[in-house]
Structure 1
Amino acid sequence: MNDVTIESTTTPDIVEAEQVLTLPGHLFFVESVELPTALEANEIADFAELTVESIAPFPLEQIHWGFLHAPDATHLLIYAAHRDRLKKHSDATLDAYAWVLPDFAHLQGAHFPEATEVTLLSESCVTLLHFESEAEVPCAAASLPLGSKTIASVIATLRKETEGNDHFARKRSLRLIDTTVSEQGLPTFYHVEDGADNGSAYGNWSELNPSEKLLWQADIRSGEFKESERSARRTSALIAKITAWAALFALLLVGLEILLMAGNAWLGTKTNLIAQQRPGVERIQGKEAFINKVETFAPENELRPIAILEALNTTRPKGIYFTSTEASGENQIKVDGIASTINEFNRYTESLSNSGIFSLLGNPKQLTRSGKTTFTVELDYHHRQAAVATPKPAPTASPKPTADETNNPEATNDDSPNVDEAKAVIVEAEAMVQDEPVANPRRNQLVKPEVARKVETEESSE
């Protein structure tokens, strides 16, 4: 590859970020220092400070200095400049910038596959840098102001003042064209090749974004300022993160509040719907309760006190008589009585159990005193109707009703009054469910007095 000594007739505009102050390289004296092998990584900054104190002709309080270092590098590139010299060149307040760097520090992190000589061009100076193969820190650097001289003549002068040029056969002539700063305050430096284009694929140099640690090492301001500024930036970054999380949390709360309002609105709608449907539900429940009460008068639950007493007296011996009986709606009866002997009472209860009509509810209670036995027994009655087989009669003409039948139509009705009454009540209940009135002409005629009074009581309570 030929040396790049072509004078550039066109100079691209240098665009710098407002947070990065770039100083010309010729304002600094530069020294490459080998690192001791036993030096720890956290001791490199102290080693660099001691080195600057030993090689600088001025106290540290009067100079601005920094250094370039990479994790795998075996040397440091230290540079320093007197504060008065920097003030003469620029009246800018250094503390107002995020980063203050010499122009050659922009190439921090660049590396090439072979030993390469890099010429860094700027508006006011030319810097010559030597990079070993794959090294990210130059092993030598020299700068001269451009002034009225040509770029080619300045490069030739730098090569004469720099040793070992023959080792760096590959040449690169680069120029910084742009610098951007991220939201985290970290800059990215963009370079182009000046003059002949040898291909950007050779090495890594076109877009460089050094880490925050490397930038603080390269910054030329005092160690006290950099320490306080780093702490302030960390605090600001933490506050920014907390603010961002607080904003997200506030948005989450707003979203939850909206969901809560929507849920309350939905719940109110459902509550109103339930309130509107409550009268209908209560009406249905009332009708259902009435139907349940009516079912107690159905034929299958018909109370048969006469039949129960007849069945009890069928097998009752002469030495036993009843003092009181109490029947319930489930055809259960409680009998209190007196027996002449306990054996006679036992035979009577055994005959009731074996009759198939009664079943004992618990053990009978008996007490024998003065030759007589008083007892209390509870029984469950199972009604049975006698089935009588009758031959099917031949069809004959219907007889004319007699005068008595004409005057009393119900005399010819074989249905049980209780069955007719239960059927009439069920029909009336179905009519009430459908909200339809129904006539019940036989109600007052067929209902037994005690059943009629019970139904009337239920209706009045409804």
Structure 2
Amino acid sequence: MALKFLKAPPPNVVLLPDTQFFVRAIPVPADQTPEELSTQVELALETLAPFPVAQMYYGYHWRPGARHALIYAAYRKRFSQASVETWSAADAVLPAFATLLNPAASPGTTAILSTPDSLTAIHWADNSGVPSLVISRALPEPDDDKPPLSESDRDAARAALRNELLRATPGTIHLHEYEYPALDTVPAPARADNALVFATPPAKNTRTTPSSTTFTTAQLDMLDVRDKAELVARRASRRRDLLLWRAFLGCLSLLALCALIDIALKGGKFLQEKRIYQVKEQAPYVAEIDRANTLATRIEDLSNKRLLPFEMIDLLRPALPDTIVFTRVITRSLNSIEIQARTNRAADFNSFRTSLVSLPAIEKLDINNPATRDGSTTFTMLITFKPGTVIAAEDIPPPQPKNTATPKTDAASETAAENAAPQSGAPQPAAPSIHDQIQQQLTPGQSDAPSPDAVPPANGQPAPQTTEHTIVTGDTLARIARQAGVSPRDIIAANPGLANPRNLQPGQKINIPQPAPPPANETAEEEPNQ
């Protein structure tokens, strides 16, 4: 929004009484230029005026294409030195009738301008926009020896002068009458782009649309009655002042912009500090929410997934020396485990650490608190596995069946086996296998009754291959496999109808395969010693 004090001041125009000037219309050639017209006006004034040009204030009005120009001049001594000094600050010094030089006036138009001391008639004979006749008449001045004129006498004198002016302007078709109560109260013109716009006062005798008269800077130079050389210098000074004024306005605008930017920066800083304060105030609540979300995520993971410590330990077995014993195992997350271990050989500790780093399944290894005392080294390991490397045993697909040939035995082994059998022909009970010993240690509720598949056949073939086991609370496929001395794949292969190996229900019955028997040649070598 523009500030009022930054606006240029209104134009200062000095209007002089029309009766101080004599006015004439002079012909102008069709190809006349403004520079040539200035010289022609001076020549015309030397011919028409009774005084030299240097002793007169003069001006003229002309529009391009007009075949005549209107010139006017006044003797300099008619104006006091004090009034002339006031002209230096004016934008233009004009006779009063110049404000009514409307270029749009139609042929046959006459305008009468009434002031407190005079009447002026302006007549346009053609449509060139330049009046062909201007006549001014002064009202009678009161005589010092006579009483002042009454208001009715002044009105009568004004009416007489009006009729005289109308008789002097034959061919009047359109008559417009205007009045200026005082020349110093005429509204100042408005500034336009290198021009001044004079508002035409409303006519007294007709209803006319409000109009205006616009004069460019070049036209004002012609209309102005001051010395033309001084006007040229004044115009140059005014242009310089205008540039300085615009530069001043630009600097003020720049300062205002800088002030606005500074205010915006301070406002932004205040808002930023306010937001930082709010963030600090809400930081404990945000941290609490983060902890709650972390806990909820962990609970959700634990509800949907289960920890697999044994599978993690299985991934470490390739690098585990026999001398290292795990004393405590804590599962920290789905992919990390904490192990406390000890060993009696410090060299195995270093080799174990090096082997763990080289395992492809391990993402990060941290070893804390290594200590050696009385020849025993203790340490704590925090191991993080790569995502997707820790897989539940029951999720491992069973091996594809292979075509296996029936093992061959030599005749000596078969003869030794036949001689070792009792003469009665009844089968002797075999010694309990590792599988049977593990079955005796199963938790209560398990069933060690042999399945129908485990009943010895009548043809004297080898012992049954599976044992039925009843699931109790806490049983997992990996745990059962470790207790039975077999792999989870073997249990899955022995139970083709098992729908979900990871979801074993209490009371559910599954078949557990027996561990693989030793090779036949080893059995044949041991039997003679029995």
TM-score range, shorter chain: 0.5 to 0.7
**Residue matched to 2:29:** 36
How far apart in 1 are the matches of 2:74 and 2:104? Answer: 26
- Residues 107 and 208, structure 1, Cα contact 8 Å, conserved in 2: yes
Equivalent AA in structure 2 for residue 255 of structure 1? L
* Residue 334 of structure 2: aligned partner: none
Counterparts in 2 of 1:18 and 1:32: CA distance versus 1, 3 Å: same
Mapped pair 1:182 → 2:187: no
The residue that corresponds to 1:218 in the other structure is 223
Post-superposition CA distance 1:329-365 (Å, at most 9, x none): 5558xxxxxxxxxxxxxxxxxxxxxxxxxxxxxxxxx
| AA matched with 2:483 | D
The alignment status of 1:302 with 2:302, answered yes or no, reads no
- Where do residues 10-21 of structure 1 align in structure 2 (5 Å cutoff)? 19-21=12-14
Aligned to 2:431: none
| Inter-partner Cα distance in structure 1 for 2:216 and 2:18 | 21
Output aligned runs, 1:49-198, within 5 Å: 49-87=42-80, 93-148=86-141, 150-158=157-165, 162=168, 165-176=169-180, 178-182=186-190, 186=196, 188-194=198-204, 197-198=205-206
CA contact (8 A) 2:11 2:191 kept: no
Q: Distance in 2 between matches of 1:66 and 1:241?
A: 30
Correspondence 1:323-362 to 2 at 5 A = 327-329=355-357, 331=359
Once superposed, what is the RMSD of the aligned Cα atoms?
A: 4.8
1:171 partner letter: L
Q: Cα 1:391–1:109, aligned 2, differ >3 Å: closer, same or farther?
A: same
| One-letter amino acid of the counterpart of residue 189, structure 2 | V
1:109/1:210 contact within 8 Å kept: no
Q: Number of paired residues?
A: 309
Query: What is the DSSP-based 3-state SS (H/G/I as helix, E as strand, rest coil) of the residue aligned with 2:24?
Result: strand
Structure 1 position 391 matched with structure 2 position 396: no
Q: Summarize the Cα distance change of 1:77–1:31 in structure 2 as closer, same or farther, 3 Å threshold.
A: same
Question: What is the CA–CA distance in structure 2 between the aligned matches of 1:234 and 1:67, rounded to whole Å?
Answer: 23
Amino acid at match of 1:217: M
Which amino acid is the alignment partner of residue 137 of structure 2? L
CA distance in 1: counterparts of 2:274 and 2:84, whole angstroms: 73
Q: Residue 252 of structure 1: SS of its match in structure 2?
A: helix
Q: Whole-Å Cα distance in 1 between the matches of residues 166 and 468 of structure 2?
A: 147
Distance of 1:32 and 1:18 partners within structure 2? 29
Secondary structure class of the residue paired with 2:222: helix
**Structure 2: how far apart are the matches of 1:236 and 1:206?**
31
Q: How far off is 1:306 after superposition?
A: 8.1
In structure 1, C-alpha distance between the alignment counterparts of 2:129 and 2:104, rounded to whole Å: 5
Q: Within the alignment, does 1:261 sit opposite 2:274 as a pair?
A: no
Deviation at 1:237, TM superposition (A): 2.4
Cα 1:45/1:414, change in 2 over 3 Å: farther
Amino acid at match of 2:311: P
Q: Given that residues 119 and 129 in structure 1 are in contact (C-alpha distance below 8 angstroms), is that contact kept between their aligned partners in structure 2?
A: yes
Whether 1:227 aligns to 2:237 is no
Report the Cα offset of residue 79 of structure 1: 0.5
CA deviation after TM superposition for structure 1 residue 100, in Å: 1.4
The CA distance in 2 between the partners of 1:253 and 1:181, in whole Å, is: 35
Query: For structure 1, which runs of at least 5 residues remain unmatched after alignment?
Result: 1-16, 288-294, 310-323, 333-382, 397-412, 417-462
Q: Which whole-Å deviations, capped at 9, do the CAs of 1:92-123 have from their partners, x for residues lacking one?
A: 63324332111211112254334123322221
Which residue in 1 is equivalent to 2:207?
A: 199
Q: Any conservation in 1 of the 2:56–2:73 contact (CA below 8 Å)? A: yes
d(CA) in 2 for partners of 1:384 and 1:89? 119
CA–CA separation in structure 2 for the residues paired with 1:56 and 1:44: 17
Contact 1:130 1:139 in 2 (8 A): yes
Q: Give the distance between the partners of 1:219 and 1:306, measured in 2 at CA.
A: 111
Q: 1:159 to 1:236 in 2, by over 3 A?
A: same
Contact (CA 8 Å) 1:303, 1:330: kept in 2 or not? no
CA distance in 2, matches of 1:47, 1:267: 74
1:67/1:218 contact within 8 Å kept: yes
TM-score, structure 2 normalization: 0.47
Query: Which residue identity does 2:17 align to in structure 1?
Result: P
Distance in 1 of aligned mates of 2:223 and 2:469? 131
CA contact (8 A) 1:111 1:131 kept: no
Separation in 1 of the partners of 2:71 and 2:110? Answer: 19
The residue identity in structure 2 corresponding to 1:128 is A
Hey, what's the Cα distance between the residues in 1 that align with 2:58 and 2:249?
37
Whole-angstrom CA distance in 1 between matches of 2:81 and 2:230? 21
Choose from 1, 12, 16 the match for 1:23: 16
**Distance in structure 2 (CA, Å) of the matches to 1:304 and 1:137:** 116
Q: When the two structures are superposed, what TM-score results if normalisation uses the length of structure 1?
A: 0.53
The answer on whether the counterparts of 1:111 and 1:133 sit within 8 Å (CA) in structure 2 is: no
Task: Give the deviation of 1:156 after TM superposition.
Answer: 4.4
Distance in 2 of aligned mates of 1:107 and 1:331: 106
**Partner of 2:243: helix, strand, or coil?**
helix
Deviation at 1:220, TM superposition (A): 0.4
Paired with 1:231 and 1:207, the residues of 2 have a C-alpha distance of: 27
Deviations 1:297-355 (A, max 9, x none): 8734623248999xxxxxxxxxxxxxx998445558xxxxxxxxxxxxxxxxxxxxxxx
Residues 259, 297 of structure 1: alpha-carbon distance in 2 compared, 3 angstrom cutoff: farther
Conserved 8 A contact 1:179-1:187: no
